[in-house]
Structure 1
């Protein structure tokens, strides 16, 4: 089945051909790279935040490419794009990749030798003048997958960044970052925390800090709830500013969610008003700042906690010019509530021949 068969919103969200895997990966790769440039150009993140943002996006793209290689010729299983408010792969796909690569050696021992497979390919193509069978292509793809994909670069449910000195002009002395893939929303989130530390070196408590973030800040929740949970568990860490980036939904032909913007794009694709490559990407920035401190606890167990201000919530949309016009025409109430007018990004053009 070619990408030209991806025509209606009623299609299954399962990728079931080589063309669809290639097409989907190109769409995600292109959209995320456009997003990185757009976020930087429009000042939605600081230069240091952009560095971390790009690193987490690279892990996400690496994982999706690994899925493409793994599933491209597999006749028994297919990659699933999430059907909730996402457009990204289902979280279980990432977990399956990670667990599957733990058994790399077991699978490699069962695969044919590369030279033997090469001889079979040449015999089929040159002597028999026939295309290589799909099961042979799957064997070749499996060899590439198990010998080249590194488990450490798979976008896991929680990915922890390092603690570093905060850039000059920040609200605090130190900063750290982390990313998580929300298992209910099936979307990637990237977080930053700027904090002061009661001591000389927060790296002495890095394991406690990392464990706390993984425990209380690994899913979407109210920002003040997240901030208080972190603050409460770390007595020597004083968070001053927490920022969360919500990437998605990714509105495109593979998304089958209840999002109004997605429905508008799918309807227009179904009517052939816009091409299959059409896309838009929602992007939300939530922040919370401390407004002072207070002490809590008994005489011998007082802890300094932060008074958190009202969370700041801003929504944005990145889309090509034609899609921006479409969304304004069909969903003006949503578009007019954005923090800023939609940011224009480039059209994706793919040769479908």
Structure 2
């Protein structure tokens, strides 16, 4: 394992991916900084982000620094207004960052977590790769593309190197179940509480499930590759995925194997169903050597997720695990 040179600032360190990236960097001996950001107050959020950038630049002392932007509160069903506010916050942060000296920004390597499913939902002819033209079906995917463009200004104007990671369906221990996403976590919760799980798309819907620790390792290695393979001002887009597909029916089958009982499934209609692609398979043709790693198999990832949620229920965190019965 290699470590990105210089301090690394993780934005969104309390989230699923951000927490895993923070742990992975720590395991590699990196100097990691985090920031509590009051996202509900856009002006205060921008100030906190600007202060966080100042802290990582101070820690770098004129040398290399890294930013892993793993924050993002939106999901497919999030309103357009909320998504607009999120993108505007990113844009305002970038505006403040660009007021700093080129010598400081030019030392930066920036990773942005984006959504492969969001931006390619309307594309044709899967599996999709980085040459596929992005075609979102929902405002969520369009907002992800706008966020990518905002962070890319740190490269085009500020001289930093930027890696956009379009991530497939992320899952694993620690997922926030208050969000209307995370099929594997939602099934885990429903199974442990012996409740039905609502499925709003066809059971033959295909997704690419990427275990969070595997994604975090890819992020860390991507930041290293960004230093080694690009020049200042470059922007690279890479799909981060397991490059293996599984239907919802197959996922339910794995749960039956793990729990030794059938999951209660409630098929229902949803207005968001039209914004969901039937087949979201991915492959990556950019820096394919970063994908040459042993990934956590889906059954092992499901077991780890079920175990985590069982512990959280036992610790009395049920009220924080979502209430969508």
TM-score by length of 1: 0.29
**Larger Rg: 1 or 2?**
1
Greater RCO (CA < 8 Å, at least 6 residues apart): 2
**Structure with higher strand content:** 1
